[in-house]
Structure 1
């Protein structure tokens, strides 16, 4: 794909940024995350391939920020949604689909109660609210090695994009390190009787060491705090029952989303009845919690998508296929790295089902410039890969073509280490999402200014 045109994307980008802050509704999809020579808008997808508004075709590995694990427009999911929404999608009273989806979901995950919502932020913030209500405490702690938990104030206030969040709210959120029990224990020592919950992802790729999750849970309970697992990414990739099933640990509360509906907008807060019931009608001795009351939480189409997704996972070898394809992709990528002598500058990390790559400069420091160059060259080769998240619909031929694109891209990367990425990158490099300020004129060229 050496003659790509992105003219329609550029026109749409200019219109979008005039109408929509950041030009899209998820920062990770923004133009600042990609090189200038990149598709700006995806028109359609099928399986592991997508087509942009200019008609360019790509093998895709971002998979809707890892929300699509079966493949774009997966027939079983699309059919289930079409049949359900043809009957209406939102009513004055609950739909039977809410009960069916809850039963299916809980049978897969093994929790006792579930509340559905639309995105991961609502689910994790719901968990934090429940923990605070149950314990009567205000402080919470999250794992600082994990990049994102919520758009809500309790988390985003602690990041570089914390503008608009009161300092008093920021002060209630603490951090600890993964696989470092002492860092969590130090928080309980510093804030005795004040921490409501600890929240973390079960894994970012490597398995927890020395029973870390089980010891952390015990530490939480010994100090009267809830143990919460965020399975937005690990759920529906690590194992059918989530990473908690793989690692044999039962959290007090856990959250799922992304792949739960194969890209449809549905997420879930689930957990033990003694905590979840605080948002219900049963009598208990604690104040009621206004928990995830959303107009669209029971929307029938996404719940039907979740049911169809769960059925596919139960009937077909989805998890095994994700790991097998990812292992093949990792092997080919690493072989190309070795072939170009780039082991000190490019690397692949994560679990086979959910890989990412790292790009370092000549001084072996993380570089947005070299990341942008690699993304640009992969796009030239017909591959979009902000991450390396495989889906059930990727084929062996897809992997083979991707590895060929990796090999060609790393050849350019190796040359750029000698004479600088600037000589090979068209336009400005990408930037990290969480930054406090935008540079003046940084994206003028994206709009032809």
Structure 2
């Protein structure tokens, strides 16, 4: 800010400073950190309703990617809030299981027909790591093969050791994770052949597969004695109420759900074949697996939220609405970019229910500087968009307004391309990748 003009983001800036002092990285999730936003406009949120949020300074934004894709129905959805309010008034956690735990398990398994048993936890990392542990126990093998084209599976060592931030993870642990490319069966086959009988499982998001790829990958894994694990954190509900496995008709051995199933409330799920899942229970003669044992994994209000979400999906075609809204948004953004002459540089990608954008420089290379410029212009126009992922609360009016803001941002984008330098429009340092070795 300059001169004596009041800072319109003063409260957010002060709160961000407090967070930086008290919380490593200034946020409890790196993807929400200040380095993921322009330096001079990084709003701290006070409240949300539907597809809109308000920051501490009173600015209203149309929000995309709400809650890192966890709020699929919209903030404070009345049916979810009512279910949570009723349940939490009865108590949230007890010394023995609550009756709602059986109700929630039954409801989840009805929605995911390929799964035979389920265990709940709080975070996606909890359940993906449990799946890996179970696969290792079942196969007696130590290596984990993860898809190199998918950005995140867990905060735990078996995954983080394979990223650009492996500090604190012993090399012996890092050596137990190998990678394979999405969609390339021959490369995966070579990997399985190279490591003989050491690979316990293949872990991936189902994504947007070519016809026959997922079933062939499952057959390939099984032929080499490995298990197939789907990470359904994003695809679960957003692709289909039963996950990508239901949409594509390929049942993995184990799958991990989270994010949208609680509409922002903390609940995740490990699901899979009965013979595998039972190893974490008491009704078998094999060596026991310490699968999942979390104090808060079955908090009653979070399970009530999940049941309410799944009920909405059963009654209404939420997925179809997400796709229709996303398609309208994608068409509008592409048209705005084309009108400004930047369609080769501002690119919309992904499934209509899960849209992201790429920002490319004058040479067509991915650019964090141009991402900073673009996100800053959106924020100035009242659009908070680290992605273009819609929720069921995103309205036609929201889409129209967003396209208007994108059109204005695209004009600025063009000016920066013509100048060969986005710096004057960045508001300070550029956004940085989450996974980087040094701050």
TM-score, normalised via structure 1 length = 0.95
Secondary structure of 2:348's aligned partner: strand
In structure 2, the partner of 1:303 is 303
In structure 2, the partner of 1:72 is 75
RMSD: 1.0
| Post-superposition CA distance 1:286-323 (Å, at most 9, x none) | 31011110000010111100000000000112111000
In structure 2, the partner of 1:325 is 325
8 Å Cα contact 1:126/1:292 also seen in 2: yes
Within the candidate set 116, 122, 128, 1:124 is matched to 128
Secondary structure of 2:355's aligned partner: strand
Within the candidate set 174, 195, 202, 1:170 is matched to 174
How far off is 1:37 after superposition?
3.0
| Post-superposition CA distance 1:227-253 (Å, at most 9, x none) | 110000011111111111110101100
- Paired with 2:65 and 2:352, the residues of 1 have a C-alpha distance of 14
Secondary structure of 1:407's aligned partner: helix
- Paired with 1:380 and 1:18, the residues of 2 have a C-alpha distance of 27
Alignment of 1:181-220 (within 5 A): 181-203=185-207, 207-220=208-221
Question: Which consecutive segments of 4 or more residues in structure 1 shift more than 6 A?
Answer: none
How far off is 1:38 after superposition?
2.2
- Paired with 2:225 and 2:180, the residues of 1 have a C-alpha distance of 17
Alignment of 1:320-399 (within 5 A): 320-399=320-399
- Paired with 1:35 and 1:209, the residues of 2 have a C-alpha distance of 37
Secondary structure of 1:59's aligned partner: strand
How far off is 1:126 after superposition?
0.5
Secondary structure of 2:94's aligned partner: coil
In structure 2, the partner of 1:104 is 107
Alignment of 1:237-316 (within 5 A): 237-284=238-285, 286-316=286-316
How far off is 1:418 after superposition?
1.4
In structure 2, the partner of 1:60 is 63
| Post-superposition CA distance 1:25-59 (Å, at most 9, x none) | 00000000000232431110000000001110000
In structure 1, the partner of 2:3 is none
Secondary structure of 2:336's aligned partner: helix
Residues 1:91 and 2:103 aligned together: no
8 Å Cα contact 2:60/2:382 also seen in 1: yes
How far off is 1:12 after superposition?
0.9
| Post-superposition CA distance 1:348-393 (Å, at most 9, x none) | 1000000000000111111000001000000111100001111111
Moved more, 298-307 or 4-13: 4-13
How far off is 1:409 after superposition?
0.5
How far off is 1:62 after superposition?
2.0
8 Å Cα contact 1:31/1:40 also seen in 2: no
8 Å Cα contact 1:257/1:266 also seen in 2: yes
How far off is 1:5 after superposition?
1.5
Residues 1:115 and 2:116 aligned together: no
- Paired with 2:25 and 2:391, the residues of 1 have a C-alpha distance of 28
Secondary structure of 2:109's aligned partner: helix
How far off is 1:272 after superposition?
0.4
Structure 1 residue runs without a partner (length 5+): 439-449
In structure 2, the partner of 1:148 is 152
How far off is 1:136 after superposition?
0.4
How far off is 1:334 after superposition?
0.6
Structure 2 residue runs without a partner (length 5+): 1-5
8 Å Cα contact 2:349/2:356 also seen in 1: yes
How far off is 1:23 after superposition?
1.2
Residues 1:135 and 2:144 aligned together: no
Residues 1:17 and 2:20 aligned together: yes
- Paired with 1:228 and 1:52, the residues of 2 have a C-alpha distance of 39
- Paired with 1:417 and 1:433, the residues of 2 have a C-alpha distance of 25
| Post-superposition CA distance 1:384-435 (Å, at most 9, x none) | 0001111111110000000001000000000011121012221111100000
TM-score, normalised via structure 2 length = 0.97
Residues 1:40 and 2:10 aligned together: no
- Paired with 1:343 and 1:107, the residues of 2 have a C-alpha distance of 43
8 Å Cα contact 2:34/2:42 also seen in 1: no
8 Å Cα contact 2:9/2:43 also seen in 1: yes
